[in-house]
A and B are shown apart, each in its own frame.
Chain A
Amino acid sequence: MKLKGRIWKFGSDVDTDAIISARYLNQSDPKVLAKHVMEDERPEFPQKVRKGDMLLAEKNFGCGSSREHAPLALKAAGISCIVAKSFARIFYRNGLNLGLPLLESSEASEMIREGDQIRVNLTTGEIFNLTQKKKFFAKPIPTFMQELIKDGGLIRHLRKSSRLPEKKRF
Chain B
Amino acid sequence: MRKALITFAPCPMPYAPCPMLHIRKKNMKAKHPMTITEKILAAHAGKKRVCPGELLNVRIDLTLANDITAPLAIKAFNEIGAKKVFHRDRVVLVPDHFTPAKDILSAEQCQVLRKFAKSQHLTHFFEIGQCGIEHALLPEKGLVLPGEVAVGADSHTCTYGALGAFSTGVGSTDLGAAMATGRLWFKVPESIQFIYYGKINPWVSGKDLILFTIGAIGVDGALYQAMEFCGETIQRLSMASRLTMANMAIEAGAKNGIIEPDEITLQFIQPRAKRPFRIYQSDKEAHYAGVKEYNTSKIHPQVALPHLPSKVKDVREIGKTEIDQVIIGSCTNGHLDDLRVAAKILKGRKIAPSLRLIIIPATQEIYRQALKEGFLDIFLLAGAVISPPTCGPCLGGHMGVLAEGERALATTNRNFRGRMGHVQSEVYLSGPAVAAASAVKGRICHPEEVVKKG
Which of B37-45, B68-76, B197-205, B378-386 lies on the face that meets chain A? B68-76
B81 touches A86 (CB 8 A): no
Residues of chain B whose beta carbon lies under 8 Å from any beta carbon of chain A: 2, 4-13, 68-69, 71-72, 75-76, 79-81, 97-98, 102-103, 105-106, 108-109, 152-155, 157, 169-174, 176-177, 219-220, 223-224, 253, 255, 308, 395-397, 414, 416-419, 423
Which segment, of A1-9, A21-29, A49-57, faces chain B?
A: A21-29
Query: With A15-B416, A17-B414, A21-B418 as given contacts, are A60 and B253 in contact (CB-CB < 8 Å)?
Result: yes
Task: Give the total of A residues in contact with B, Cβ under 8 Å.
Answer: 56
- In the complex, which residues of chain A have a beta carbon less than 8 angstroms from the beta carbon of B13? 92
> Closest residue of chain A to B107, judged by CB?
A26
A169 CB contacts on chain B under 8 angstroms: 75, 79
If A23-B396, A63-B219, A167-B79 touch, whether A90 touches B171 (CB-CB below 8 Å) is yes
Residues of A within 8 A of B253 (CB): 60, 63, 88-89
Q: Does the CB pair A68–B171 fall under 8 Å?
A: yes
Chain B residues lying within 8 Å of A18, measured Cβ to Cβ, are 416-418
Given contacts A22-B397, A26-B105, A89-B253, whether A65 and B155 have CB atoms under 8 Å apart is yes
Minimum C-beta distance from B312 to chain A (A): 15
Residue in B80, B172, B177, B416 whose CB lies within 8 Å of A64 = B416
CB neighbors of B among A138-166 (8 A): 138-139, 153-155, 158-159, 162, 164
Task: Please give the distance in Å from B161's CB to the nearest CB on chain A.
Answer: 15
Chain A residues near B (Cβ < 8 Å): 13, 15, 17-18, 21-23, 25-28, 40, 59-60, 63-69, 71-72, 85-90, 92-94, 97-98, 102, 104-108, 111, 134-139, 153-155, 158-159, 162, 164, 167, 169
Minimum CB distance partner of B169 in chain A? A66
Chain B residues with Cβ below 8 Å from A59 are 220
With a cutoff of 8 Å between Cβ atoms, the chain A residues found around residue B255 in the complex are: 89
Residue of B152, B170, B176 touching A155 (CB-CB under 8 A): B176
A-B contact pairs, 28 of them (CB 8 A): A15-B414, A15-B417, A17-B417, A18-B416, A22-B396, A25-B395, A26-B102, A28-B75, A63-B219, A65-B155, A66-B170, A67-B69, A68-B173, A87-B12, A89-B224, A94-B170, A94-B173, A97-B174, A104-B9, A134-B5, A135-B5, A136-B4, A137-B7, A154-B173, A155-B79, A155-B176, A159-B81, A169-B79
Residue of A97, A134, A138 with highest tally of chain B CB at under 10 A: A97
The residue in A17, A26, A27, A158 that gathers the most chain B C-beta atoms within 10 A of its C-beta is A26
| Chain A residues in 8 Å Cβ range of B72 | 28, 68-69, 72
Q: In the complex, which of the residues B79, B170, B173, B395 contacts A98, with contact meaning CB atoms closer than 8 Å? A: B173
**Other than the known A136-B7, A155-B173, what 6 A-B pairs have Cβ atoms closer than 8 Å?**
A40-B423, A64-B414, A65-B414, A66-B169, A137-B6, A139-B9
CA distance A86 to B72 in the complex (A): 26
Question: Would A153 and B173 be within 8 Å (CB), given that A63-B220, A64-B155 are in contact?
Answer: yes
Q: Are B171 and A66 in contact (CB under 8 A)?
A: yes
